[in-house]
């Protein structure tokens, strides 16, 4: 059986002819970057869609994370999760900040708030949690600790586009939230990202920082970086946004089908939905438990040998990479849940173009057929 490869995700590409008018506008305007009309329109459209007041676009999520930390002048030590994509902790190292890893909650796979306090030292200035797989963190518990110890909270919300809790966007929590619009994410601008901030003044500072610190022709107020999103990327985002509802509806349906078909498979534990008001179904993580006939890696390889590229997100843990593994907080004894989950997790393919046949094929392999 020579089936086409199925990757863990596939970017949603609107019909090409729908992109041409956007390009025509850019050609007509002759503005390619530096906060042009497409950039402005996408900021407005996203703040509407997401239900947030202030959003600053970036050329990628990692530069947005770096800039978020700069904008709040975060220094010293920051408490974060080892169970994420490396960019989370790398953004701290690039700012000369020491990451301090704290274990995750076994149900939500997010930073475990009950373990944060023990990791706070006089050097701690902030917490950087991740809404892993788009499941909201325990934002109330985290804010309470931050308030008690006077810490900043910067959410790596790279997975959380469109996620809401009972009161609205999950992105309104903490001091800042950072999105990624990378090609592999639920909403993409090829490469891109954004910072959600609480007020116009903060956005102003972030806007300066993402443009070299330039205020006007003769004024530079900070050692800023080049974090600007181009007009072509912004235009692609505007077009994506036209299709987002339909794309999300299909993700939701795939999530439902997987849950139904896999619910009684021995040894396959489907990570619970967080009970949020609106999820984004960006990932479909399962844990391959010890009573499954194969090890996680055996199942991963079996799928791979059949052209199905499930991914072991997040294995290895960030804290296992050479630039982190010597740190006291990176030791296995400090992170028992994260180590355990990283050895069991497998993210199954989920994306709008995945059809029912593909899903059945994947499920059949998981069921051992």
Ligand X SMILES: *Cc1c(COP(=O)(O)O)cnc(C)c1O
Q: Which residues bind ligand X (CB under 6 A)?
A: 60-62, 84-85, 87-88, 130, 156, 158-159, 180, 182, 193
Nearer to ligand X, 134 or 267 (CB): 134
Nearer to ligand X, 93 or 200 (CB): 93
Minimum distance, C-beta of residue 105 to ligand X, in the bound complex (Å) = 16
Minimum distance, C-beta of residue 347 to ligand X, in the bound complex (Å) = 12
- Strand locations in 193-334 (E): 193-197, 214-216, 219-220, 268-270, 284-288, 308-309
Nearer to ligand X, 8 or 158 (CB): 158
Helical packing angle, 16-29 and 231-262, nearest 10°: 160
- Omega of the bond leading into 237 within 30 degrees of 0 (cis): no
Determine the residue with CB nearest ligand X.
61
* Cα–Cα distance measured from residue 61 to residue 158, given in angstroms and rounded to the nearest whole number: 7
For residues 225 and 209, the answer to whether their CB atoms sit within 8 Å is yes
* Cα–Cα distance measured from residue 358 to residue 364, given in angstroms and rounded to the nearest whole number: 10
Minimum distance, C-beta of residue 129 to ligand X, in the bound complex (Å) = 11
Hunting for tokens 């996680």 — which residue is that? 296
- Omega of the bond leading into 227 within 30 degrees of 0 (cis): no
CA distance between the termini of the chain:
14
Minimum distance, C-beta of residue 80 to ligand X, in the bound complex (Å) = 11
Nearer to ligand X, 131 or 361 (CB): 131
* Cα–Cα distance measured from residue 369 to residue 367, given in angstroms and rounded to the nearest whole number: 6
Nearer to ligand X, 227 or 267 (CB): 227
Nearer to ligand X, 158 or 317 (CB): 158
Nearer to ligand X, 87 or 366 (CB): 87
Minimum distance, C-beta of residue 298 to ligand X, in the bound complex (Å) = 26
Q: Which contacts qualify for 240-247: CB closer than 8 Å, 24 or more apart?
A: 240/12, 240/14, 240/187, 240/188, 240/189, 241/42, 241/45, 241/46, 241/49, 241/187, 242/14, 242/18, 243/12, 243/14, 244/49, 244/162, 244/187, 246/352, 247/12, 247/186, 247/352
Minimum distance, C-beta of residue 179 to ligand X, in the bound complex (Å) = 8
Minimum distance, C-beta of residue 180 to ligand X, in the bound complex (Å) = 3
Nearer to ligand X, 88 or 248 (CB): 88
Tokens of 35: 């906060």
Minimum distance, C-beta of residue 132 to ligand X, in the bound complex (Å) = 7
* Cα–Cα distance measured from residue 58 to residue 264, given in angstroms and rounded to the nearest whole number: 43
* Longest pairwise C-alpha distance within the chain: 69
For residues 70 and 78, the answer to whether their CB atoms sit within 8 Å is no
Nearer to ligand X, 127 or 359 (CB): 127
Minimum distance, C-beta of residue 58 to ligand X, in the bound complex (Å) = 8
Tokens of 364: 């059949």
């Amino acid at each position: 059986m020579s089936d086409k490869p199925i990757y863990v995700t596939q970017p949603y590409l609107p019909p090409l002819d729908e992109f041409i008018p956007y390009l025509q506008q850019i050609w007509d305007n002759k503005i390619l970057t530096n906060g042009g009309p497409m950039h402005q329109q996408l900021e407005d459209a996203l703040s509407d869609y997401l239900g947030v007041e202030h959003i600053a676009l970036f050329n990628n999520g990692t530069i947005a994370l770096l800039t978020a930390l700069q904008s709040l002048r975060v220094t010293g030590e920051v408490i974060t999760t080892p169970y994420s994509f490396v960019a989370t902790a790398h953004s701290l190292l690039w700012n000369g900040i020491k990451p301090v890893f704290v274990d995750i909650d076994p149900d939500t796979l997010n930073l475990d708030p009950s373990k944060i306090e023990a990791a706070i030292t006089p050097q701690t200035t902030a917490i950087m949690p991740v809404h892993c797989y788009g499941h909201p963190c325990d934002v109330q518990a985290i804010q309470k600790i931050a308030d008690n110890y006077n810490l900043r909270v910067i959410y790596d919300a790279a997975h959380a586009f469109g996620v809401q809790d009972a009161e609205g966007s999950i992105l309104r929590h903490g001091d800042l939230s950072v999105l990624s619009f990378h090609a592999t994410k639920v909403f993409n601008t090829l490469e891109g990202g954004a910072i959600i901030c609480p007020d116009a003044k903060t956005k102003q500072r972030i806007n300066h920082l993402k443009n070299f610190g330039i205020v006007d022709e003769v004024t530079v107020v900070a050692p800023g970086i080049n974090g600007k999103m181009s007009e072509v990327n912004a235009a692609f985002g505007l077009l994506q946004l036209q299709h987002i509802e339909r794309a999300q509806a299909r993700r939701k349906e795939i999530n439902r089908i997987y849950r139904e078909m896999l619910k009684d498979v021995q040894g396959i534990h489907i990570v619970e939905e967080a009970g949020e008001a609106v999820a984004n179904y960006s990932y479909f993580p399962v844990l391959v438990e010890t009573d499954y006939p194969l090890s996680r890696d055996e199942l991963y390889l079996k799928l791979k040998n059949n052209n199905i590229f499930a991914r072991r997100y997040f294995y290895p843990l960030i804290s296992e990479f050479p630039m982190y593994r010597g740190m006291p907080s990176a030791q296995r004894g400090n992170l028992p849940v994260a180590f355990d989950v990283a050895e069991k997790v497998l993210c199954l393919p989920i994306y709008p173009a995945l059809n029912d046949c593909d899903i059945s094929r994947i499920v059949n392999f998981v069921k051992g057929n």
